[in-house]
């Protein structure tokens, strides 16, 4: 549901000013210098709850000990591991690609939805029940090319991204406290996965570098890639067939499809994550932990829940949190810093 | 393509004599006592080629060194890691389930294809282009129940399986030399995956115990599992929707879907594995290794290639092997022992 509601944002989508690429950092090295594994979390109940859970599940002999292979942790990406405001980076990529390619691809430029995008014509892009125009743009930028070509395009673009209140490049959109949480979980034998409505091939380009999460531990929305030998060369071509939407009830389904066992730790930030929070925490034979990142910080980030800037309302999951025992992280109060750079 | 050609076998499918469950063994402990990592392989070019490849890709400073995250190894299951003759174990499970359930489920027993199966009526089961009867049996035994219920059923059944020339239980069908190869690769920083035409949920029940491969590293044929809260309980229900066939060109597609990068080691035994052998070895920027298990041993196992007992011809992949540089393992000559017990 990456594009639901994105129409409001299209007008402001003029693309960031290109910025020079800087040295990359990884989740694991970013916190190597500190002895507090969650140094960017303020002292308080939220931080303590995480520390307590990890200690009791990862300490052999503890009544709540969970064997290492069962220590599966899953995290939504947009709004949970990095900023999705003012728009999810993948959406910025789509518009950036349309702008980059239209001048050099006459056939593409003739496409009505491309014209509409370039003209900022929201009415045309919003036609149809499923925002057909935006889905068309997604298809144009995410299908019809080989997997390596697509990955190269994302890689060439990613350092030009600018999160308005964060740092340069895609890494500048990531949340430092969440990077520390990922690293801390891994240091305690957890296997960390992304489970996001975003495109699986998109995220796999940078997940290892930004989050320390290898491609095989990225679960996302996807479509089939077709394999054939083209002039003797093995070629995987991205298509729009067999679309899998890794959102809402699709998230537990995606977890089952890719991981095959129940997580014991789940982090999300919207109602789209509620099903995987439920799957993780209700009736789990192991101790489990649900975490919701609540966007309460209008100064360092963007404050929203019921009315998000693009997609991903947080209403029902927030209501359910007390009963379910999910930790609601108050970004403004619980995080010492927000972005990793 | 698990069931292609299985009609020939149906007549002999009277099910194994139930045998008592014995202590289980894992791939990693099975060879712990030896210093030769491939102790069940006879000395010779096949064994040496494997040792050489692993040494040059896993030794830092070697010209062919491959960084650890890129050391992805994929293996077919039926006929590669365990015996598929006289029939793949999953097929034995299907008929065993039909026999077990028909007497206690009147509605199931009325199903024409169930009657046909119980009567050994091959003509009825073979109707339709895609062996509709057999597909129906597969659906009846693999969909319509929750994931945990299905897994429990497989677990309850697996120790009664008897590979005719192997040991008791599903573990008795596994190949000792391949278990050693998996362990040896992992000891050298390879991440091992199953990439099989068999059912992903079926294999995940035992892959960790038999092969040391966790559920999240099992790629197989699959259908959607639907998530919902049933009376407040998170429930994943197996369906026959969105079927993914992890065979032939579906294998590289499955590798991309689940792993997201190219393997550098691939083992198979049939033409259904040819596409993933090609994907692994043709034009790979890293050094790569393709391996074909050739079923040449009519004494300790079953000898076949062009005419397999059930499915999985080995014709074109065998022809391509010399040109592609794939190692063809001669089971009769290269393996000191075949089954692990």
What is the structure's pLDDT at A98?
96
What is the structure's pLDDT at B4?
37
Of A216, A242, A279, the CB nearest to B234: A279
Query: Least CA distance to A191: which residue of chain B?
Result: B216
d(CA A112, CA A110): 6
Q: Which residues of A are less than 8 Å from B252 in CB distance?
A: 227, 234, 236
Residue A254 falls inside a structural domain: yes
Query: Would you call A339 helix, strand, or coil by DSSP?
Result: strand
- pLDDT band at residue A107, thresholds of 50, 70 and 90? very high
d(CA B229, CA A48): 30
d(CA B85, CA B314): 14
Specify the CATH number for the domain of residue B40.
3.40.50.1000
- With a CB cutoff of 8 Å and minimum separation 6, the contacts of A55 are A62
Residue B139 falls inside a structural domain: no
Q: Which of A227, A262, A283, A320 to mutate to test the interface with B (most CBs of B within 10 A)?
A: A227
Q: B167-178: buried (b, 16+ CB within 10 Å) or exposed (e) per residue?
A: bbbbbbbbbbbb
> Cis peptide leading into A86, omega within 30 of 0?
yes
A258·B260 Cβ contact <8 A: no
Pairing of strands B218-221, B225-230: unpaired
Distance from CA of B262 to the nearest CA of A (A): 11
B261·A226 Cβ contact <8 A: no
Residue B237 falls inside a structural domain: yes
B218·A260 Cβ contact <8 A: yes
B200·A242 Cβ contact <8 A: no
Query: Least CA distance to A201: which residue of chain B?
Result: B260
User: Is the predicted pLDDT of residue A10 greater than 60, yes or no?
Assistant: no
Q: Which residues of B are less than 8 Å from A261 in CB distance?
A: 215-216
d(CA B108, CA B103): 9
Q: Please state the rounded mean pLDDT for residues B179-200.
A: 98
Q: Which residues of B are less than 8 Å from A218 in CB distance?
A: 260
Instruction: Select from A199, A189, A228 the least CA-distant residue to A66.
Output: A189
Number of structural domains (chain B) is 1
pLDDT digits (tens, 9 = 90+) for B71-121: 999 999 999 999 999 999 999 999 999 999 999 999 999 999 999 999 988
User: Is the predicted pLDDT of residue A139 greater than 60, yes or no?
Assistant: yes
- pLDDT band at residue B14, thresholds of 50, 70 and 90? very low
Q: Please state the rounded mean pLDDT for residues A157-168.
A: 96
B204·A228 Cβ contact <8 A: no
Q: Which residues of B are less than 8 Å from A225 in CB distance?
A: 253, 256-257
d(CA B337, CA B240): 39
Residue B68 falls inside a structural domain: yes
Distance from CA of B216 to the nearest CA of A (A): 4
Query: Would you call B311 helix, strand, or coil by DSSP?
Result: coil
| Matching residue, tokens 């518009």 | A95
Q: Which of A192, A258, A260 to mutate to test the interface with B (most CBs of B within 10 A)?
A: A260
ipTM for this model: 0.90
- pLDDT band at residue A205, thresholds of 50, 70 and 90? very high
Query: Least CA distance to A204: which residue of chain B?
Result: B260
Q: Is A122 exposed, middle or buried (0-12, 13-18, 19+ CB in 10 A)?
A: middle
Q: How many helices and strands in chain B, by DSSP H and E? A: 16, 8
User: Is the predicted pLDDT of residue B11 greater than 70, yes or no?
Assistant: no
d(CA B36, CA B190): 18
User: Is the predicted pLDDT of residue B23 greater than 80, yes or no?
Assistant: no
What is the structure's pLDDT at B124?
85
- pLDDT band at residue A123, thresholds of 50, 70 and 90? confident
What is the structure's pLDDT at A17?
37
Q: Which residues of A are less than 8 Å from B283 in CB distance?
A: 233-234
A226·B201 Cβ contact <8 A: no
Residue A139 falls inside a structural domain: no
- pLDDT band at residue A310, thresholds of 50, 70 and 90? confident
What is the structure's pLDDT at A34?
54
B200·A260 Cβ contact <8 A: yes
- With a CB cutoff of 8 Å and minimum separation 6, the contacts of A270 are A76, A79, A308, A311, A312, A313, A314, A317
d(CA A116, CA B149): 51
What percent of chain A has pLDDT above 70? Answer: 90
The B-side interface with A (CB below 8 A) comprises 69, 72, 147, 191, 200-201, 204, 208, 214-218, 222, 224-229, 232-234, 236, 242, 244, 249-253, 256-261, 275, 278-279, 282-283
d(CA A225, CA B193): 19
A244·B242 Cβ contact <8 A: yes
B232·A147 Cβ contact <8 A: no
Query: Least CA distance to A281: which residue of chain B?
Result: B234
Report which DSSP code applies to B18.
P
User: Is the predicted pLDDT of residue B9 greater than 70, yes or no?
Assistant: no
- pLDDT band at residue A6, thresholds of 50, 70 and 90? very low
What is the structure's pLDDT at A125?
79
Query: Least CA distance to B256: which residue of chain A?
Result: A225
Distance from CA of A278 to the nearest CA of B (A): 7
- pLDDT band at residue A326, thresholds of 50, 70 and 90? very high
A234·B204 Cβ contact <8 A: no
Q: Tell me what the pLDDT averaged over chain B comes to.
A: 90
Q: Please state the rounded mean pLDDT for residues A55-65.
A: 97
Which residue did the predictor score with more confidence, A90 or A9?
Answer: A90
Report which DSSP code applies to A222.
B
| Matching residue, tokens 């947009």 | A78
Residue B192, phi-psi category: left (phi > 0), alpha (psi -120 to 50), beta (remainder): beta
For the record, the structure tokens of B247 come out as 């065979």
What is the structure's pLDDT at A311?
77
- pLDDT band at residue B311, thresholds of 50, 70 and 90? confident
pLDDT digits (tens, 9 = 90+) for B33-47: 459 999 999 999 999
Q: Please state the rounded mean pLDDT for residues B41-65.
A: 98
Instruction: Select from A264, A297, A244, A271 the least CA-distant residue to A56.
Output: A264
- With a CB cutoff of 8 Å and minimum separation 6, the contacts of B234 are A252, A278, A279, A282, A283, B227
Phi, psi of A122 (to 5 degrees): -65, -35
Do residues B323 and B7 touch, judged by C-beta distance below 8 A?
A: no
Q: CA B123, B125, B128 angle in degrees (round to 5)?
A: 90
Residue A182 falls inside a structural domain: yes
Query: Would you call B167 helix, strand, or coil by DSSP?
Result: coil
pLDDT digits (tens, 9 = 90+) for B110-154: 999 999 999 988 778 777 776 788 889 999 999 999 999 999 999
Distance from CA of B177 to the nearest CA of A (A): 25
What is the structure's pLDDT at B88?
93
- With a CB cutoff of 8 Å and minimum separation 6, the contacts of B297 are B303, B331, B332, B335, B338
Q: Which residues pair with A227 in a beta bridge?
A: A236
Distance of CA B238 to the CA centre of its chain: 20
Residue A145 falls inside a structural domain: no
Q: Please state the rounded mean pLDDT for residues A47-51.
A: 98
For the record, the structure tokens of B336 come out as 């000191």
pLDDT digits (tens, 9 = 90+) for A286-308: 999 999 999 999 999 999 999 99
User: Is the predicted pLDDT of residue A204 greater than 50, yes or no?
Assistant: yes
Q: CA A153, A157, A163 angle in degrees (round to 5)?
A: 145
Long-range pairs, B153-157, Cβ under 8 A, ≥24: B153/B97, B154/B93, B154/B202, B154/B205, B154/B206, B155/B205, B155/B206, B157/B93, B157/B96, B157/B97
A216·B256 Cβ contact <8 A: no
Residue A288 belongs to domain spanning = 23-85+162-334
For the record, the structure tokens of A146 come out as 């080989």
d(CA B220, CA B207): 12
User: Is the predicted pLDDT of residue A22 greater than 70, yes or no?
Assistant: no
A229·B278 Cβ contact <8 A: yes
Choice among A27-36, A304-313, A318-327, B169-178 with the minimum mean pLDDT: A27-36
The A-side interface with B (CB below 8 A) comprises 69, 72, 147, 191, 200-201, 204, 208, 214-218, 222, 224-229, 232-234, 236, 242, 244, 249-253, 256-261, 275, 278-279, 282-283
What is the structure's pLDDT at A12?
35
Query: Least CA distance to A255: which residue of chain B?
Result: B216
Choice among A1-15, A129-143, A239-253, B149-163 with the minimum mean pLDDT: A1-15
Q: Please state the rounded mean pLDDT for residues B158-176.
A: 96
């Amino acid at each position: 549901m990456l594009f639901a509601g994105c129409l409001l944002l299209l007008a402001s989508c003029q693309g960031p000013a290109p910025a020079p690429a800087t040295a990359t950092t990884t989740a694991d090295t970013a916190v190597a210098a500190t002895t507090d594994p969650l140094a960017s979390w303020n002292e308080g109940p939220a931080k303590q709850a995480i520390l307590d859970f990890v200690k009791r599940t990862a300490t052999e002999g503890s009544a709540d000990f969970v064997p290492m292979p069962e220590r599966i942790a899953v995290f939504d990406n947009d709004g949970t591991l990095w900023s999705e405001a003012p728009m999810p980076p993948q959406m910025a990529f789509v518009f950036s690609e349309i702008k980059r390619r239209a001048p050099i691809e006459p056939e593409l430029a003739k496409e009505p939805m491309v014209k509409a995008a370039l003209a900022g014509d929201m009415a045309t892009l919003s036609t149809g029940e499923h925002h057909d125009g935006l889905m068309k743009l997604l298809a144009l930028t995410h299908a019809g090319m080989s997997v390596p070509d697509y990955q190269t395009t994302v890689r060439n673009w990613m350092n030009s991204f600018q999160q308005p209140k964060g740092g340069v490049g895609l890494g500048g959109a990531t949340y430092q406290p969440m990077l520390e949480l990922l690293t801390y979980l891994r240091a305690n034998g957890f296997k960390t996965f992304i489970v996001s409505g975003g495109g699986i091939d998109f995220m796999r380009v940078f997940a290892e570098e930004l989050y320390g999460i290898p491609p095989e531990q990225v679960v996302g929305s996807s479509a089939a890639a077709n394999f054939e030998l083209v002039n003797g060369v093995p070629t995987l071509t991205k298509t729009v067939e067999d679309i899998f939407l890794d959102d809402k009830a699709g998230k537990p389904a995606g977890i089952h499809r890719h991981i095959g066992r129940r997580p014991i730790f789940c982090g999300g930030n919207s109602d789209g994550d509620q099903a995987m929070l439920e799957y993780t925490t209700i009736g789990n034979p192991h101790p489990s932990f649900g975490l919701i990142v609540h966007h309460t910080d209008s100064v360092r980030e963007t404050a929203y829940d019921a009315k998000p800037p693009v997609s991903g309302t947080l209403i029902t999951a927030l209501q359910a949190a007390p009963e379910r025992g999910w930790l609601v992280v108050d970004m403004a109060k619980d995080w010492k810093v927000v972005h990793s750079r």
